[in-house]
Amino acid sequence: MNHPSSSGSGDGEKSKDSVEVDATTRASNLLVYGSGKGNQQQGSFPKEDISAIILRCSSGSDYFRQQVVKDEKSNERIEEMKMKFEKEGGSSRLGSAAKTGIDLLVDKYRRSRPRESNKVVIDMDSFYYSCALARHKEEGTQPSHQGVHLNQMPVVVGGGMILTSNYEARKYGVRSAMAGFIADKLVAELSKGKVKLLHLKSDHKYYAEKSAQVRSILEEYDPNLKQYSLDEFYIDLTAHLAKSGDGSGDVQEVVSKMRARVLEECFLSCSAGIAPSSVLAKICSDLNKPDGQYHLPPGDDSIMDFMRQLDCRKVPGVGRVSQKFLAAFGIENCAELYARRYDIFKIFKEKTAGFLLRASVGGWGGEDEDSAASFGAGEDQGQKGISIERTFNPVWKREDVSSQLERVCERLGQNMARKGLRGRRITAKVKLASYVVFSRSKTGRVHMNEKEEIFKVADELVERVRKEVEARDDLEFKIRLLGVRVDEFEVKGGGGGGSIEKFFKKVEEEGGGGVGRGEEVRGGEEDDDEEEEDDEVEDDEEVMLSLSQSQQDSEHVDDWKFAKALQVRYDEEQKQFERMKEREREREQEDTSKSRKELGGGKGKLTDEELARRLQKEEELWDRGRKRKDKTAKGGEVKKQKTIFDMMNGKGKGK
């Protein structure tokens, strides 16, 4: 959107209006609806027109003001990272041994990919809306409004907060997690008043029934499938293909039949992604929506070609804020991510850099990685926590807050019981109507998963937030979102798998630049960009690395640690070399000054000819010394390169 520029004062300073316009323009880029991950529908209205309406409707709201504040913080962090990157000389300061270590790490990620393409992600198409259509078919009625079929008009599920929109509504820029009044404005203004957005009521009980019906069909293909929301399923067809005698070449046919059964028996369409790993399959499931499928063959060439064309925003775990940080360094897609792999090592912390390096080559693979735990919702050994959040119209009365909190705790307790999880630490998240977020935690002596136990602790934490807010003049205790998280699970059997998290935690405690999701706020206000409502609303605002690192990463810790150690060693050697040169320059100046005095009769004066001879002699001495140092440094570099190959191949680790 083009904003009119305000004229500045005579001394060149920006006017107040100009500053506000600049802030508004930047913050508009962080609006939930402005930069979704989904593909733009054919026949959609221009993004510029959609963004202009959203910006106009949002400006001046509490949410928008909070976005401006967060945008300023993001800009400050980006500037700090850039200054640090430039001050340290970027990746040019990395020694060849450290670069070799990074290349070997990336190479391991590439080799870790499974050799078959049997992982499938089934993603239901506009699930809540499709359920409304399915109900009409089950009841034998026409899914129409005033004689017009629902598919031919813009329709959403939800009122104040949009749960989902049909594909016709998405042409107008209407998305999940959007405020209902903004969705109405988009349709009305872009259609010039000719079309009105239709709102359908939600029915979560019916959605759960239809989800279970879909699952029962898919379990025939994989009894151990993973499901982390009502509308998304993670399937491994390896056993099914082996049992049925089908070859891997028939995987597309199997998935096609699977989807056809879901449509025929459940009256619901779905899309699918087929790939060597579930993360890649997740990405692929979004490419041929609706009612389509995309197959990514195994093999390094096909995967590398696929990833090169992929925008970073399409990678699970890279949210809009993450995208902004990458774009600030000129990185828009995975091809640029791979080309700048050495810079990534210097820009971000190890945990974030490792994730981005893996993403640049699509190097996901392994049991733990292939579960959805890799992008924020896992179970099994890799899961570190489980949480539920709920958005609603602002409430402030004690009984209303408790009622919403009970609903969250009840659902969380049910999920924990189903997964056999019991945790000690409870975290309550409170988002005010002003979009300021608080997070408070408490660790108990016993593990729990009962609704009553969780609610008792969570309620205490929410009340603590209430007292803090009421003690302030700048905030009002009106809540629009409540979330509860449980972690520090009860360990059954052997441990294992914690080494990488302990290592990365230690690295983060030691400091370093970058941005990481692991910076959880306990006991203060928390920057938060999430807009969630039950299952279908995307967690579209994740800061870098919402993903938990997979168990498989533990085998790369030594490699990564060694690469970091090489860089530290290289930096120290560079500092020593600089200090040595500085001392020699000081001695040279002292000698020159002394020579001037001696040759000048103690008065410090030299003729031009005498000074030229003296300087030439000093320069020759310096050149001979530098050549000797370069020769020594070159020998040491060769030795370090040999050492890293030994270390990467398991020779000499732990020494």
The residues annotated as belonging to the active site are 232
Please say whether the beta carbons of 325 and 515 come within 8 A. yes
Q: What contacts 24+ positions apart, CB below 8 Å, involve 617-623?
A: 618/588, 618/591, 618/592, 622/584, 622/588
- Under 8 Å CB-to-CB from 593, ≥6 apart: which residues? 604
- What whole-number distance in Å separates Cα of residue 278 and Cα of residue 226? 11
* Token reading at 110: 């590439």
**Ramachandran region of residue 304, left (φ > 0), alpha (ψ -120 to 50) or beta?**
alpha
Residue 655, class by beta-carbon neighbours within 10 Å (0-12 exposed, 13-18 middle, 19+ buried)? Answer: exposed
Q: Identify the helix (H) or strand (E) that includes residue 180.
A: helix 180-190
Please say whether the beta carbons of 309 and 333 come within 8 A. yes
Q: Identify the helix (H) or strand (E) that includes residue 233.
A: strand 232-236
Residue 277, class by beta-carbon neighbours within 10 Å (0-12 exposed, 13-18 middle, 19+ buried)? Answer: buried
- Under 8 Å CB-to-CB from 450, ≥6 apart: which residues? 413
Please say whether the beta carbons of 333 and 311 come within 8 A. yes
Residue listed under structure tokens 């899961």: 383
DSSP string, 558-570: HHHHHHHHHHHHH
Is 596 in a helix, a strand, or coil?
A: helix
* Residues paired with 293 in a beta bridge: 272
First to last CA, the chain: 59
Please say whether the beta carbons of 389 and 408 come within 8 A. yes
Q: b/e string for 614-628 if b means 16 or more Cβ within 10 A? A: beeeeeeeeeeeeee
Is 392 in a helix, a strand, or coil?
A: strand
* Token reading at 264: 């025929």
Encoded amino acid at 237, one letter: L
- What whole-number distance in Å separates Cα of residue 634 and Cα of residue 612? 33
Half-sphere exposure of 75 (CA within 13 A, CB side): 12
Nearest alpha carbon to residue 386 among 367, 359, 413, 407? 413
- What whole-number distance in Å separates Cα of residue 590 and Cα of residue 600? 15
Q: Where are the beta strands (DSSP E) in 498-654?
A: 524-526
* Residues paired with 232 in a beta bridge: 123, 229
Encoded amino acid at 438, one letter: F
Please say whether the beta carbons of 396 and 463 come within 8 A. no
Residue 106, class by beta-carbon neighbours within 10 Å (0-12 exposed, 13-18 middle, 19+ buried)? Answer: middle
Using the Cα atoms of residue 536, residue 540, residue 541 and residue 546 in order, give the sign of their dihedral: positive
Q: Could you give the dihedral angle defined by the CA atoms of residues 515, 517, 522 and 523, in that order, rounded to the nearest 10 degrees?
A: 50
